[in-house]
Structure 1
Amino acid sequence: MPRTAHPIISFAVFLTLTVSCATARAQDPCFDYDLSGWSPTGSIVLPGGALDVAGTADGYLLVGGPDGLYTCDLNDPGAPTVTGYLHTESPVVEVATDGVIVAALTADDRLLTGVRVAPGTVSWSGEISLSFASRLALENGLLVFLQGNAQLATMDLSDPKTPSYLGWVALPEISNDLAVANGLAFLASGSSFVLVYDLSQPAQPQLVGSAGRFASGTAIAVEYPRVHVANVSKVVTYDASQPSALVELGDSSRLLGFTNRLAADRGLCLAASQEGHLVHLTAPVDTATSAMGHTLLETPPTALDVVAGNAVVALPDGTIHVYNPAQGNYPEVKRVLQENLPAHLVVADGLLYALDPDYEPGPGLTVSVLAPPPDDGVYLGAVPYFGTAQALDVRGDRLVLATNLTSLALVDISNPGTPLYISQRGQDVDTDDVAILDLSFCALGRDDFGAETLVVYDQATSGALRLASALRMPYGTVQVIGLGNRALVRARFEMNGLLMVDCRDPRSAAITDWVGTEGSTVDVVARGRYAYVLAEDGHVDVVDLSDPYHLDVVQTVELGVSAVGGSLAIHGGLLLVAESFRGMTMVDISTPEGATVAGAAWVPVTGDLLAGAEVLLFNDPLYKQRGYLPAACGALSAAGPPSLRSLALDVRPNPFNPRTELFFELSVAASVDLEIFDLRGRLVRRLLAGESRSGGTQRISWDGLDEGGHPLASAVYLARVRAGTYTGHAKLVIVR
């Protein structure tokens, strides 16, 4: 990370140390729930891949793949098996069933129709050309599908030997997903969000209802009368008992990533994102969903379903995972929904200070105990402010705030029940952030000419605030933290990184040093002699502040995930990083110069993160919700996944007889599974079972024998290696 020259500062060369994301354990108070993820109870691997799935009420799963249709028995979730296979010339990209009739759409625009002649067997009996079709749904012999995303079409499959096209209706807007139940078609749509069509006249479906939100519906699942619709990062639940007047029951907590797949049955709703997050949501009859389980998949899934009460996930490589909903591990997050949520909060000594625009009789600075519902929002004290809130800081018995009318206002909070204004200044700058120092106060913002400026104030003997100095700052300065009689300023753009400002004499404040950061800065926190800077590209720089004339990056921690829109908080010996895609990453900073990733917590609320002694608070004005998470004492119960960037599996020699070797590379130590499957997905040999392996090149020998020590026949087999959340595959050929 080179340091960029600045005309008023002299710099020295420094060395940046980089640490890999090795697993670690933090020994300070943290969270006592399992952080390892929601684990499958059983899995099966199908050759070639899995493109779509459809479950049946009697516990079977139909899987469309690149070379045909598979039938799997999931009645024993711990040991799923393949019971049938039908070859097709073109990949089966979508599959649907009503329990008896089966419809499969191939990549060459053919619709194959048939029946389940036995629970584990399907027989084709009909075929018809079908162009621009997607999102097949089948109920009582009626096939409903989207045609080019702008038409809802129907087909009669009551006699699978002679499928017949019935008709179509133009949709008022492009739709993204479709589900059918109780003679109704439900569509996840654009601005209407949900569309409901009556199928009693299948040749001409009739629009009978809709429900709107200011967002597009990305996926839909129905367990009638409940309808679940994904809204990018939430799941909204409706009661469809009256299709013409859908009743919104509520929505889930904010989920992680971009939700694009849903499935629901037997009180279980399953949501997956294009980033690979899989979330198990409960779906009570009369309320919205609530998160109960989470895992991060090896890759984003191609399809989801709920079969016999179990969650089923298909991955592109052909892996089918089965999850037991009773084994979820989502930490309980208590939410507060508020239309005009305060954006400016500070937690200090167990109290929550907020600039609340909805406080009555007018906008007010409120003081409350940091506590989840039902105790949240119980004010100890409050005092009004004027204008639009812009910034807030607390230190000891003093509080400073800024609005669009005042650059700085000083408040006495020695008695939190009766906060009192001491002094306030008119608008010297359009303030972005404020900070309290030992002998002065800072307001960071833009002057009348739009120039970035740090204004330093002191107090007259009367207590009035006086402008002591104004220091021109580089373009893009956005955050200031008070450190004794110095101010630490975070910048983006022109001088991306941190600047140290000496304010010991408020009348002659001066920049003493700057340190740069690769990747645009997102947030900064400080404790003791160290500051922690989060960058958008997903790393944290640890900066030594002990010499204000020579700031030095002493450690860089790679998080392995983008941190755009992220935030930081310190809790005990952990640096908590909240970001949109993984929820919260925990960095062990008990030794700051050896900081390393300690784990990830699957928390379904993001936004600004604040840490109290016993409660974590996530404040997300964009999604109009605040979440409270208990922070229980106890050592970190499980480390996060090893940071393996790729896991290529190589086989040499291949083909082979009688012995071969499998090679793969681990960038860090990890627990590894290495298994061999036949082309029907049956496990034939387990070479490694959760074995702890050190980092480096791994070399495993296989003698071509099965678990019982018998030679396997000449055939193609599939090897799968798993380490953490990473997976590698390779085909092996035995030639006897």
Structure 2
Amino acid sequence: MSGVPTDIGVFSLSDSSPILAQCRKNYKPMRNAIKISLAILGLSLFLSTASFSVTEISTGDLPVDTSNLPAGYFLYVTNEGGGGGGTTVVQISDDGTATVVGTGFNGPSGLAQNTLATDPLLYVSDDNNGLYTQALGDVFTTVATGFNNPNGLYYDVANNDMYIAGSDRVLLLDLDTMGQTVLAQGYNNLQTVVQTTSGVVYFTDSSGDVFLINPTDTLPLDAISNPATVLASGVAPGTEGGLVMDASETFLYVSDYNEGKVFKVSTGGSVTELVDFSDFAPRGLALSPDGGTLYITGYLSDEIVAYDLINDTATLFADGASTGGLLNGPFGMVISANDYPPFDGGAWDTAVLEDRSEAVPDQLALQQNYPNPFNSGTVIEFALPRASDVDVRLYNLAGQEVLRLATGAREVGSYSLLWDGTDAQGRPLASGVYLYRLETGDRTLTRSLLLLR
């Protein structure tokens, strides 16, 4: 090949060679660059094999601060009962004072609030598969029944809708029409649900996955045939925990009841372990109004921890001692500026199940209960020819009120009340004759029934 050397000889450079001088000039920067590259490579290898975890926290070591709430706010919490049998809703004020504001429930779990109503409303769900509400200064009344373990509630302010998570599905309840829409089904042991202002719905189940439902999804979603999108996988497997979203709708906080952990999940899907408890089963979650404090219920220890998200520190906000023993398997929470006072006579009796037929009756009527006499349960029916505020109560023969069977506004229709013969605290009533009375403002109808034990 012409012009191409076939042999390359070895050559040497003198110390004064400009080529060697340039090499010497570049040597130190090149050496440093190589060192930095090797250090980065070593760090990468270390990070790929190292295991990091958050330091465990024992609630027994936490400082106590029962006045952690912002001034003028109240924390409301449902007592599902750590071993079952919880019956109450408790209010904790900004000075740490605890008060029962609702009784007579059967394992109350879900809690939500409508702050934009003329009279703000507090909503509660329980193991009798009902949804109940209380206006300021009023008793709890039934909104709807027939749900299947309605564990989690989320109120949509813009549309007056209630999202309900329970058993295997997520439901949307239109509180104006009382119509129900199944959003997702076929999942396992749903506990909580939240919704964004853009209409995206997030929920968790016992798989530990965090799922999302987009407004454009074809409903209902089905775990097998039409599954919901997985935002983050295996965050808290087997969990019976909580879920709450920050005000910016950027992060979700998820509690893992089984492992004692709380995670921070971005809406982009990244997961960060926030806190690890050694002796605390975190369940319900609520954020302070400024978003700086995460309140966490300890389901088995009857405690509430306040976790400072800014400084990564925790304090014990409430326990059995500070609340006078009023916490019993605390679960759902809301933080509110509204002071819902305790009401006289206990809560709406959750042993009463209500059903309604939309057929328009000819006249106001209160039917004889059936069966009568009865032992374990009886049905009381009444009919409203026009929408009315109703009050159906049970009295003994001495004229003392025993139970509120139904109260509040009702639409036109025929109503059936299934009552199991217990009082507002779930205690069986004694055998005897009782009077039940329907009042609608301008009319009063009364009948008697016979309970035999």
TM-score (normalizing by structure 2): 0.46
Q: Name the structure where helix makes up a greater proportion of residues.
A: 2
TM-score (normalizing by structure 1): 0.30
